[in-house]
Each structure stands twice: as C-alpha cells, then as structure tokens.
Amino acid sequence: MHWLDWLVMLSTLGAIVLYGVYHTRNVKSVQSYLLGDRDLRWWTIGLSVMATQASAITFLSTPGQAFEDGMRFAQFYFGLPIAMVFLCIFVLPIYYKLKVYTAYEYLEGRFDLRTRTLTAILFLVQRGLAAGITIYAPAIILSTLLDWRLSWTVLAIGVIVIFYTVMGGTKAVSVTQKQQMIIILTGMFVAAIILLDQLPEGVGFTDAVGIAGKMGKLNVVDFSFDMSNRYTFWSGMLGGVFLFLSYFGTDQSQVQRYLSGKSLTESRLGLLFNGIVKVPMQFLVLFVGILVFVFFLFVKAPIHFNTANLEIVKENPTTAAQLAELETTYDALFDERQAAVGDMMNALDSEDEVAIASTSDRMNSLQEQDAAIREEVRELINVASNDTAKTKDTDYVFITFVIRYLPAGLVGLLLAVIFSAAMSSTSSELNALATTTVIDIYKRSIVKDKDDDHYLSASKWFTILWGCLALVFALYADLFENLIQAVNMIGSLVYGAILGIFMVAFFQKRVGGLAVFLAAIVAEAAVITIFYLDRIGTIEVAYLWLNLIGCGLVMVLAEIFQAMGIGKRPEPKAS
Amino acid sequence: MSDQQPDIDTLPEDEQPPILGSWRALYVLVIVLHFVLIGLFYWFTRTYA
C-alpha cells in the first residue's frame, strides 16, 4: 500500500480516537459512563444510531450485492422511517419517563424479574457473538486482499475499539461515531464521484444509468406480493417495520444511543433524522455498486474477486489448467461485451427502440454467459479446496475496485471508511453488552449494594471482558464457518419474539408475566419450525416475514393464555 | 403487574419540535417524504428498466 494511503488512514482513525478520548476525559460516574450525562444533541444521536447499524460489512457487501443482484435490496429499509415514527410516539416517552438505563429494565416493572433477565440474556448471547463477527467479517476481506495477517487486522480493529470504549463509555462511542459517520458518508460520496470520473471518455452519468437500467440492475421497487421473494415493497414495509421496531426499540446497542440524548425532543429528532437519511444513504451505497458494475463492463474484472480462492485453484495442476481455459473464454467474452456495450450506448443515444431492445437482449445474454463462467470458477474452487473455501465473492467486489483503481490517498480514505464502520458498530455493541451485564444482571441480581465507583469500575471491566471475548471469537472465527452462519441467523429468529414481548408490555395492559413468557416460548418454537421448513424446502417464507410472524404470535398467544387464566393469581378464599 | 407500569395516555408531552409546531406534523412530514422517495424510486425503476 502506498505511504500516502497509510498516512491518510492512520491519521483519520487516530484523530477520531484522540478526539473521542479527549472529549470524555471527565467521565467519573456510572451515569456518565453508561448514559453519557444525557447531554447529546439530535445530530450526534442520529449519526450515532446510523453508525451503530452500519457495520463495515455494510460498505463491503452492499455494493457487491448491487453489482450482482441490482438495487432491490434498498426495499429492505422501506419499513425503517415508519418504525422510527412509531418509536418516537409510543416507546421513547416510556423509556424517558422511567429514566431507564436499559430497555430490559422496563420489563421488570411491567412483568417480572424473570422476563427482564431472560430478555437481557437473549440479547447478551446474540449480541456477544455478533460483536466477534462485526470485527471478523471485514478483517478477513481486508487481510486477504491487502496481504495483511488476519490476526493483526483483527487486533488492530479490536484493541483500538476496546481502548476508547473503556476510556470514555457511551459518550466516547457517540462522539466518535459522529466523526466516523461523517468520514463514511464523505468516503462513499467521493467513491461515487471517482467512479464516474474513471468511466471511459464519452461515457457519462446518463449512459451509465441507461446501461445499468437496460441490464435490469435498477430494480429499486418491486410491488409484486410474493412471500418467497426476499426483497419486495411488501416484505420491506411489513416485515421490515417489525424488524426495525425490534432492532431500534429493544436492542440495547441502539436504545443506549438515544437514551443518552439531552431531552426527549433531542432523541426523537435523532431517530427522525435516521428515518429521513437512512434510505437515501443505502440507495447511494447500492448505486456505488451499480457504478462499479458499469465500470467493469469497460475494464476487465477479475474472473473471481477473492484472490485467495484463485491461488487455491492454481496450486492444483488439474484445476489450474481448467481455470486457464476458462480465462481464455472469459477474455473473449469481455471483448464481445465491450463491443456490445458500445452498440447499446449508440442505440440509447439515438433513442432507437428496436436497436435498444436488440442490444439489451444481447447484453443480457452475454451477462448470463459471464455468470456461467463465474459459476464454473466457483465449482473449480470447491474441487481444489475440497469444499472448504467460501466461494461467494460479492463482498470482495467493491474493495477490489478501491484497491486497484482508486488513486493513492483515496485508497487510504476508503480503508478508513471500512475501519470506521467496523469500529463504530463494535463500540456500540461492547458498550451495550457491558451496560446490560452490569445493570440487568450484575447490579440487579448478583452484587446489589455497592457504591457508584464500584459499578463504574465493573462497567469498565465488563467492557474489557466482552471486548476480549469478541476478539477471541474473531481470531478463531475462520475455524467455525457454520457457527458464523448460525450467529447471523439468530438475529432474525429472535427479534420477532423479543419485539412481541415489548408490544404486549406497551399495549396489552391486562396480560401478565407468565402469559407473555409462555407465549414467547411457543412463538419462538413456531418461528424456528417455519425457518426449518423453509430451509428444507417444504415451504417458502423470506426471513423478513419471521419478524412479523414472531411478534404477532406472541401478542395473540399472550392474550389467549391470559384469557385462559394462565398466570392469574388465585382469588383469596372468603373466610 | 407492577406499579411502575407507565400509562401511555398520561405520559407528559415533550416540548414542541423546532419546526412545524407539533410532533404530529413532523411525523406526517417524515412519512410523506418517505413515500415521495419511494415514488421517485419507482419512477427511476420504470424509466430506466
């Protein structure tokens, strides 16, 4: 990597960390440490909420997703603004009135200690494992393409995050996230500008959009109602609303961000800011992926974006020979595509509908051939690695463009974007894990009567503990590929039930603790069954719908169980 | 059920938002902006497909 890139990356990251540590040097009480003195303004809250959700893999994976599948992933976020408004109306006032440190604290007052502890533990398990993946996922990609050692990359991300999160607590997380989010948005915007600039002479923005559109990549909105289609307007608006209600309303890593607001007004404005900005931001990130797709129509893309996989294929003489043959075919195909894309541009310029239709068909046919060759390469990788290599390479698409085609200095800026995103989401997770451990478990059920200094110290030690666990998980995650997939799935399996518990708490006032507890267990079993039936192909239900199903089942079953008398205390006998 | 359970109906309303005069108007603005954005996305999809 060029020295200028090192300079830009290290100075950007270093400045953010120093800023965070300097601004939180006076944190001396547990309230300051866990709630940041409740003095944050709406723009800090809004950017902090966005930075918590946007992990590094968001910026690595999302452009790659657009490159392969078009822009339909934008619909995943369609429910978010509605969820933000719902939370502002119904949930924030309750949290503010009770002055809670965690979302789960509220559940004890509403139901019982058992429900609070269960929900807190569910959060700790799911988020504790996820924190390791938040570090591991970008580290494996960066270390592969930049030839860095994975362990050093993991440690570089993890140790810095643990350092400033332990030093300054929740305020350090929020103020660094504000800077990190500014770097992220600037970096992605610059990437889009540079991509347009890197297109061949005579190919402008309108041409790029026209070509991508005719190749079916600008499929932002799909109104078809199909439960098996993962991303449609309806899955985003219905399933997505429930997912985001659960994530932003009950996941402590998000709740803690807006609980540190100066007032209810500031927190509401922060969430509404997220509601307005998030969808356009995702559109921008996806559109960067579309521009990368168009760029690689004019510049030959690698036959497979994960270079480590290609090395495995080349080590085996048989697969190496087959790869060489495929590369020859791929080169010829690229020449043919270049000619075809030139014809398509001429057709678009002349607005000749017949020519546009025929060149579109030709381009789409060539695109299918390109996909077929890439699939054959994946099969070679499977053969050469005995099915141990991960053949999906879309996460490597954007970073390949960044490393190979951006000028010196900007590579460093984009790497700072990736590191910033990894650090911002990890710091929120560690902060939330420590807070939940101290407030909902340690202080509530284990060590109850110590002074403020004790709990402040405990909060710091639990941050270190969770940080070290995340680091260990990240360092050894490549040994447990199946575990990673399982962790990624846990979120979509439990969020619906957790949201259901909170919805019952907010709106079904006559339902008691035992009824909702049993309802959550039955609903969770049903969600896991549906998920399993989908996996084995018996039914087809896209995972976003699981949030709606889980939440709805808890609400309905809790009402039924309560009506059946479950959980009601026996009436005292008349003497 | 605990005494701590808040009654949503009696929660004190926060101060007014800095623009539009009421929270209801601000929420409507956010939702309307969102649907306008979806409309623009739909136009974008149809125009370039």
CATH number at residue A251: 1.20.1730.10
E strand or H helix at A168: helix A150-198
The pTM (predicted TM-score) of the whole model is 0.86
Assigned domain for A573 exists: no
Same domain, A12 and A82: yes
The residues spanned by each domain of chain B are: 20-49
Q: Number of residue pairs across A and B with CB atoms under 8 Å?
A: 95
3-state helix, strand, coil in chain A (%, to 5): 80, 0, 20
| Count of the separate structural domains present in chain A | 3
Supply the ipTM of this predicted assembly: 0.83
Same domain, A199 and A175: yes
A110-140 core/surface letters (b: 16 or more CB in 10 A; e: else): bbbeebbbbbbebbbebbbbbbbbbbbbbbb
Which residues of A lie inside 8 Å of B (Cβ-Cβ)?
A: 74, 78, 81-82, 84-85, 88-90, 93-94, 96-98, 108-111, 209-210, 212-214, 216, 218-221, 223, 233, 263-265, 268-269, 272, 275-276, 279-280, 283, 506, 509, 512-513
B30 and A506 in contact by Cβ < 8 A? no
Which residues of B lie inside 8 Å of A (Cβ-Cβ)?
A: 1-2, 4-6, 8, 11-12, 14-15, 17-18, 23, 26-27, 30-31, 33-34, 37-38, 41-42, 44-45, 47-49
The predicted pLDDT at position A268 comes to 95
Same domain, A156 and A229: yes
Where chain A has pLDDT below 70, the residues are: 478-489, 567-575
Same domain, A50 and A133: yes
Assigned domain for A359 exists: yes
The predicted pLDDT at position A557 comes to 95
Question: What range does the domain containing A342 cover?
Answer: 310-392
The predicted pLDDT at position A565 comes to 82
Assigned domain for A301 exists: no
Q: Which residues on chain B are in Cβ contact (under 8 Å) with A213?
A: 47-49
Q: Which residues on chain B are in Cβ contact (under 8 Å) with A509?
A: 1, 5
Assigned domain for A280 exists: yes
Same domain, A466 and A502: no
B30 and A89 in contact by Cβ < 8 A? no
The predicted pLDDT at position A484 comes to 56
B14 and A268 in contact by Cβ < 8 A? yes
B2 and A85 in contact by Cβ < 8 A? no
Assigned domain for A356 exists: yes
Assigned domain for A408 exists: yes
A220 and B45 in contact by Cβ < 8 A? yes
Tell me the C-alpha distance between A254 and A45, whole Å.
Answer: 10
Same domain, A337 and A427: no
Same domain, A137 and A246: yes
**Helix/strand/coil for A575:** coil
Assigned domain for A302 exists: no
The predicted pLDDT at position A485 comes to 59
The predicted pLDDT at position B8 comes to 45
The predicted pLDDT at position B4 comes to 44
Three-point CA angle A334, A335, A337, nearest 5°: 60
Average per-residue pLDDT in chain B? 79
Same domain, A139 and A86: yes
